[in-house]
Structure 1
């Protein structure tokens, strides 16, 4: 479950940012070039952000990842405990059956009770999983909004045309000169107030 959290969080961050290129050696313009760029003769400014650094250095991500990890572990423990209890009850039932300890009516009643416990466990599993997914979605949205808001503020002075994400090998080559990750992470942490909570992510 922890792995799913990380992948989900990384995916949300990856869809937030982007990178552009500029061929300074070629003065040619195709039909898709924006009119403003054709008039000015300027090429687009490029920049990229390392998504992994956002996930590991942005305080909000670190704090909320711990919240999700704790919640996920608690869910696993709850389900595992109830599963063990059910298995123990089922094993005890089978043992008593072999010892002819129950009448037919008693055996049928106990078996029905065990089946109900199993059904209840499945329902609980689905409910807790849905709650956890909702919590993760809330975090992803909060992270997305936080990044979008900060980058809009950051870019008022920087004037980048586009900012791309770099995660793993999704970019075949990226010159470190265009890496603004440290600036973005520092700005995010400076702008971040308080401590991450589940309630904050829902808003």
Structure 2
């Protein structure tokens, strides 16, 4: 008797779920994708960030080159004048060379940290702008989902008709210019 009641209950429950799913209004989801790497390459905000970053890197490289020239000049002076220097002068020059080498090493380490921070700040901001823009664009155009493709292959295939990269890029760059 218990088994019969349980079977009847399960059948009624199953019929109820099937009925609900059959009568439930369906939503028409619009799905699209963008080629993320292309957005990053062609977005004017990223191009400007890249110019700023490269300009700063060039300035840092000039500073490093100057310090390296000082180290090399001291080494050359020591090697050419070694025979004419007394022990105390030689030791002073070697200490000076070590100090300059340490300055160069500290400067290069500092540059690496600053470069990583600057890169994160500039490019991270651009990525946030792109993501925010794509979200707003998707809402305005009625997309339920916009996927981003990467070279790593998170989207294995997408019909070209679903690719809105050029539309988004054009609108994104127009928005950036304003």
Q: TM-score range by the shorter chain?
A: 0.7 to 0.9
Could you tell me which of 151, 156, 160 is aligned with 2:139?
Answer: 156
In 2, Cα distance between the equivalents of 1:125 and 1:43?
56
Q: Which residue of 2 aligns with 1:179?
A: 163
Normalising by structure 1, what TM-score? 0.68
Q: Which residue of 2 aligns with 1:87?
A: 72
Cα shift readout 1:30-82 (whole Å, capped 9, x = no counterpart): xxxxxxxx944446432111123212321111111111122222322321232
Normalising by structure 2, what TM-score? 0.77
Could you tell me which of 79, 86, 90 is aligned with 1:107?
Answer: 90
Q: Which residue of 2 aligns with 1:75?
A: 60
Return structure 1 stretches of 4+ with deviation > 4 angstroms. Answer: none
Q: Which residue of 1 aligns with 2:149?
A: 166
Superposition RMSD on alpha carbons, in Å?
2.3
Could you tell me which of 109, 118, 121 is aligned with 1:126?
Answer: 109
In 2, Cα distance between the equivalents of 1:63 and 1:50?
20
- Determine whether 1:59 maps to 2:79: no
In 1, Cα distance between the equivalents of 2:109 and 2:24?
58
In 2, Cα distance between the equivalents of 1:58 and 1:49?
13
CA shift, 1:169, in A, is 5.5
- Structure showing the higher helix proportion among its residues: 2
The number of residues matched between the two structures is: 156
State the SS of the aligned residue for 2:145: coil
CA pair 169-144 structure 1, distance change in 2 beyond 3 A: closer
Which is higher, the Rg of structure 1 or of structure 2?
A: 2
In 2, Cα distance between the equivalents of 1:40 and 1:127?
60
Are 2:30 and 2:142, in contact at CA under 8 Å, matched by a contact in 1?
Answer: yes
Q: Which residue of 2 aligns with 1:4?
A: none
In 2, Cα distance between the equivalents of 1:79 and 1:40?
66
State the SS of the aligned residue for 2:34: strand
